[in-house]
């Protein structure tokens, strides 16, 4: 599993932090080129791939990729 945050389009609204049921995200200290504070994946081991962050991101700046084990389990 991997979580990608596109810092070029993220506006730092914090909805990913708010909606994540497992508290995977934290607001970081990094600013993007537009001056917005970017969220960071603080605790990736907590992620259960629910994609609430991806679904609720108004800028489509987050993408959660599925793990290979999840693909294998669903195929079998």
Give tens-digit pLDDT for 12-36. 999 999 999 999 999 999 999 999 9
Under DSSP, is residue 4 helix (H, G, I), strand (E, B) or coil? strand
The pTM score is 0.80
Parallel/antiparallel/unpaired status of strands 37-41 and 25-31: antiparallel
How many CB atoms neighbour CB 10 within 10 A? Answer: 20
Token pair 């960071």 is at which residue? 40
What CATH number does the domain containing 49 carry? 3.30.70.20
Q: Which domain holds residue 9?
A: 2-75
Domain count, the chain: 1
Range 28-54 average pLDDT: 96
Tell me which of 76 and 58 has the higher pLDDT: 58
**For the residues 47-65, what does the mean pLDDT come to?**
96
Q: What six digits make up the tokens of 37?
A: 């504070």
């Amino acid at each position: 599993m991997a979580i990608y945050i596109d810092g070029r389009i993220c506006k730092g609204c914090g909805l990913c932090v708010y909606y994540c049921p497992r508290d995977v995200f934290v607001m970081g200290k990094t600013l993007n080129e537009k001056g917005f504070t970017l969220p960071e994946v603080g605790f990736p081991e907590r992620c259960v791939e629910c994609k609430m962050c991806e679904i609720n991101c108004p800028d489509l700046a987050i993408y959660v990729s599925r793990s290979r084990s999840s693909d294998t389990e669903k195929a079998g």
